[in-house]
Amino acid sequence: MRTTSRHRGVTGMITAIGVISLVAACSGGSGGNAPAGGGYPDKNITFVVPFSAGGPTDTVTRMIAEPMAAKLGGKIVVQNVEGAGGTVGAGEVARAQPDGYTVLMHHIGMSTAPALYQSLGYKPLDDFQTVGLVTEVPMTIVARKDFEPKTLQELVTHVKANASKVTLANAGIGAASHLCGLLFQTAAGVKLQEVPYEGTGPALTDLVGGQVDFMCDQTTNTSGQITAGEVKAYAVTTPERVKSLPDLPTTTEAGLPQLKVSVWHGLYVPKGTPQDVVQKLSEALKVALADQKVIDQMAKLGTAPVKAADATPEAHRARLQEQITTWGKVIADAGVKAG
């Protein structure tokens, strides 16, 4: 088995802090981008990403931070707080002051954590206020470029015959890459040797370097490597092909129709945050998602902003409720539990 010192535990630690956006201009802007009133914000807003810097959730966060700050008339700082499949960072936000200055960007893992963790420390529906959905990202199945299987069907055949030798990387239990890998194993009817990392950034780095065999990861993290030929790509996990990767078949086309999954992202604030602040954040999110630069950046990574109607607290909460129910059954059936 190929190993690396980076795929160790899931201890929470702050790994990177990046100031993403500049103070918005107070003059010369259009009416649609006028700063929010009412005194908020009057200091920096921190966007907490519960995964490593350079990973897909971090990438999406940094795309929307600048135009959101311009709308709000303040500054947004992105802070990466890793650990335990995103639960360390989410827990910190749940315990933060409910004043709108600590915002969480999380993905599908927010809906799977209740089923995965026996001692979670927070309840997604009770301890957070939803702000709005951001994007829904397809997943791709990729391998080191010299991995023997050439097609998805060949991959399934190969891993079944070499289950004890093949390594499947992920970003830790509960991460999107872990969930997608879990569905792959279920669809393929095989149990593989999983290699958890502290984020998909380092996992993909080791995949490119040949230290692990394959993984399932978001297009926001893999499109560049696929296009550059640094990894071997087998399929995209959505019903339709991705425009930025037109030659990559869907899992249905490639012969594994049971594997369908995409990763939705959303913004959260602690329960008790004033409603007018939540609305200002939601409105700023809508502005960011309508920004042509953001649209173009997302398109290059195989995704797109959600519709304005979904970038609302109400639509986001409804999606969270539905996904908690859906994934709770999947995880229970699989018998998977995190520490």
pLDDT, one tens digit per residue, over 175-221 is 788 889 988 998 999 999 999 987 788 999 999 999 999 999 988 88
Give the pLDDT confidence score for residue 339 in this predicted structure. Answer: 64
Can you tell me the distance from the alpha carbon of 74 to that of 55, in angstroms, rounded to the nearest whole number? Answer: 25
Q: What would the pLDDT profile of 237-253 be if each residue is shown by its tens digit? A: 988 898 889 999 999 99
- What is the DSSP code (8-state) at residue 34? P
Give the pLDDT confidence score for residue 95 in this predicted structure. Answer: 97
Give the pLDDT confidence score for residue 38 in this predicted structure. Answer: 63
Strands 214-218 and 128-144: antiparallel
11: three-class secondary structure by DSSP: coil
CA 184 to chain centre: 18
Residue of 47, 117, 108, 58 whose CA lies nearest to 84: 117
CA 117 to chain centre: 18
Give the pLDDT confidence score for residue 119 in this predicted structure. Answer: 87
Asked if residues 188 and 160 have their Cβ atoms less than 8 Å apart, the reply is: yes
CA 332 to chain centre: 22
User: Of the given ranges (15-29, 156-170, 278-292), which has the lowest mean pLDDT?
Assistant: 15-29
Can you tell me the distance from the alpha carbon of 93 to that of 49, in angstroms, rounded to the nearest whole number? Answer: 10
Q: Is the pTM of this model over 0.85?
A: no
Amino acid at 193: Q
Retrieve residue 100's tokens: 């709108």
| 38 or 231, greater pLDDT | 231
